[in-house]
Amino acid sequence: MATIRDVAADAGVAASTVSYVLSGNKKLPQATVDRVLASVARLGYRPSPAARALALGRTNILGMLAQVSPETADADVDIFMRFVRAAMYAAEPRGYDVLVMGRGDDELRGDILADAIVVMDIRIVEPRVQMLLDRGLSTVLIGVPDDRLGVSAVDLDFAEAARTMVRHLAGLGHRQIAVLAPPTEPPGQALAYRRRFRLAFYSECERLGVRGLFHPCGTEVADVQEWVAQVRSTLPDLTGILVMGVSSLVALHEVIAAQGRSVPDDLSVVALAPAEQFAVLHPGTTLVDLPGAAMVEWAVTRAIDELAGEPSGAVELLPAVLYERGSTGAPGRGLRRD
């Protein structure tokens, strides 16, 4: 593979001259420029991304920072990869590549080879924002923390999503509704969207005279069985369930079936999930769409626009859209009393 020194030798110039030609950082005689470019083409020279970044002062790379680990449930990883695909589709026409980053807070103090960062999994208190701003990196959030520090952010309107789901079930006559929520985060890691959903859920239940309970749950059948037992102690006549953790839905259906119950005849279920994915995996599930692709496209476009000079600070909350697909109805028998 040809190096910059090979190009310099072939063109009869110094290596620094080749660098100046490729970066455009110094005005040179046109004959010199032509000679260097001819050597580049003849030798098939391609500068490394790091070298190009140093020469141009930019990388044309967007970083996607997310909290994904080997412990992440497969269904959640699938959703994340759809986010990545949407980011790639949005970035490529603008001349940018996407780099997926799973760095922890401390690792953000190291080198980051990117022009801008799109941050996911936003916490209520989000220290990564200040860290990235201190590095001089353009930053856009998918999620809205308590303090954005003036950076742009996009998210689903999770408060309206909760209200929409409660109104849907209450309108069908349900008077006891529980949220099957994802497991509680470690101290200091509480996610912003989860709090907004929970507060709006309880507020809407109170407004409509519905008894509600927001309760975390794991993804296995045993987890859901325990969740049912705990929820039933508070809501003995539970007939409606809102599912936030996509990974728990299969286990929930297994538990319902094991009790000799069915959806929606005995129990109504509404999910908060990507409509596109669920149209294939769970086509009969009523849901409020989690528009991951739209959120990522907005964030990527915004990041690139801000690199081009657009001011930061925009906030976009996408509307909650309910799709009725057959998993809800009038209150039924609910879950069996064991």
Q: Is 233 a member of any domain?
A: yes
Q: Residues for the chain: how many in total?
A: 338
d(CA 87, CA 80): 11
Note whether 162 and 127 are same-domain residues. no
Model confidence at 1: pLDDT above 90: no
Note whether 300 and 279 are same-domain residues. no
Domain that holds residue 206: 158-290
Note whether 162 and 286 are same-domain residues. yes
Q: Which pLDDT belongs to residue 129?
A: 93
Encode pLDDT of 13-29 as tens digits.
988 788 777 766 577 88
3 state SS for 26-40: CCCCHHHHHHHHHHH
Note whether 264 and 149 are same-domain residues. no
The three-state secondary structure class of 144 is coil
Is pTM beyond 0.85? Reply is no
Torsion sign over Cα 29, 31, 34, 38: negative
Computed over every residue of the chain, the mean pLDDT equals 88
Predicted confidence band at 49 (pLDDT cuts at 50, 70, 90)?
low
Partner residues linked to 272 by β-bridges: 288
Mean pLDDT across the stretch 179-193?
90
Encode pLDDT of 264-291 as tens digits.
999 999 999 988 877 767 789 999 999 9
Q: Is 66 a member of any domain?
A: yes
d(CA 104, CA 69): 11
Note whether 81 and 128 are same-domain residues. yes
Q: Is 303 a member of any domain?
A: yes
Q: Which pLDDT belongs to residue 56?
A: 53
